[in-house]
Amino acid sequence: MLQTLDAYLEKLNGLPPEEVDKLYEEAKSVIGDTPWIPNPGPQTAAYYSEADILLYGGQGGGGKTDLIAGLALTEHERSLLLRPQYTDLGALIERVVAVAGTRKGLNSAPPAQFKFDDKVIDFGAASTLDRAETWQGNPHDLIAFDEACQFVEPVVRFLMGWNRAADKQLGGESRQRVRTVMASNPPIAAAGDWVIGMFRPWLDITHTRPAKHGELRWFIIDPDGRDMEVDGPDDVRTFDHKDYVPRSRTFIPAALADNPFLVDTNYQATLDAMPEPLRSAIRDGNFMAAREDDEWQVIPTPWILEAHDRWRSGATDKPLACIGLDVARGGRDDTVFAMRYGAWFDELVVVPGKETPDGPSVAALAASLLRENAIVAVDSIGIGADAETALKNAGLPFEAMNGAEKATGHTRDGNFAFYNHRSEMWWRLREALDPDYGFDVALPPDPKLQADLTAPTYSVRPGQPPKIYVEGKQDIIKRLGRSPDRGDAVVYGWNAGDLDVGPRARTRGRPGVGSTPAPVTDYDELRYG
What spatial distance separates the first Cα and last Cα of the chain, rounded to whole Å?
57
- Give whole-number Cα distances, 478 to 134, 152, 191, 353, 475, in Å: 18, 9, 10, 19, 5
Tell me the C-alpha distance between 447 and 305, whole Å. 11
Residue 292 lies in a domain: no
Say whether both 92 and 199 belong to one domain: yes
Say whether both 409 and 427 belong to one domain: yes
Tell me what pLDDT residue 274 has.
39
Say whether both 124 and 6 belong to one domain: no
Residue 291 lies in a domain: no
Tell me the C-alpha distance between 431 and 515, whole Å. 6
Residue 290 lies in a domain: no
Tell me what pLDDT residue 167 has.
67
Tell me what pLDDT residue 54 has.
97
Tell me the C-alpha distance between 479 and 483, whole Å. 10
Gyration radius of the chain over CA positions: 26
Say whether both 176 and 59 belong to one domain: yes
Say whether both 142 and 278 belong to one domain: yes
Tell me the C-alpha distance between 25 and 8, whole Å. 11
Residue 295 lies in a domain: no
Question: What CATH number is attached to the domain comprising 372?
Answer: 3.30.420.240
Say whether both 335 and 243 belong to one domain: no
In terms of DSSP bridges, do strands 217-221 and 247-254 run parallel, antiparallel, or are they unpaired? antiparallel
Handedness of CA 55, 58, 64, 65 (dihedral sign): positive
Question: What CATH number is attached to the domain comprising 63?
Answer: 3.40.50.300
Question: What is the tally of structural domains in the chain?
Answer: 3
Say whether both 258 and 392 belong to one domain: no
Which amino acid is residue 296, in one-letter code?
Answer: W
Tell me the C-alpha distance between 437 and 431, whole Å. 7
Which amino acid is residue 314, in one-letter code?
Answer: G
Residue 294 lies in a domain: no
Say whether both 123 and 212 belong to one domain: yes
Q: Going residue by residue through the chain (529 aa), what tens digit of pLDDT does each one get?
A: 334 444 444 455 556 667 656 655 565 555 556 678 888 888 889 999 999 999 998 755 568 899 999 999 999 999 999 999 988 899 999 999 999 999 999 998 889 999 999 999 999 999 888 889 989 888 999 999 999 989 988 899 999 989 998 765 444 556 789 999 999 888 876 678 888 889 988 887 667 788 999 999 999 988 767 788 999 999 999 988 899 999 999 999 886 554 444 444 443 444 344 344 444 444 444 565 555 677 889 999 889 989 999 999 888 889 999 999 999 866 678 899 999 999 999 999 999 888 888 889 999 999 999 988 899 999 887 766 788 889 999 999 999 999 999 998 999 989 999 999 999 999 999 999 998 877 799 999 888 898 899 989 999 999 899 999 999 988 888 777 788 999 999 999 999 988 766 554 332 222 233 344 444 333 333 333 3
Residue that is last in its domain, among 283, 313, 329: 283
Residue 431 lies in a domain: yes
Say whether both 255 and 350 belong to one domain: no
Q: Which residues contact 454 (CB under 8 A, 6 or more apart)?
A: 190, 193, 293, 297, 299, 300, 301, 304
Domain interval for residue 269? 39-283
Render 294-344 in DSSP notation, one character per residue.
-TTBSS-HHHHHHHHHHHHT----SPEEEEEEE---SSS-EEEEEEEETTE
Residue 289 lies in a domain: no
Say whether both 214 and 231 belong to one domain: yes
Handedness of CA 508, 512, 514, 518 (dihedral sign): negative
297 DSSP β-pair partners:
457
3-state per-residue secondary structure call for 467-483: EEEECCHHHHHHHHCCC
Tell me what pLDDT residue 285 has.
44
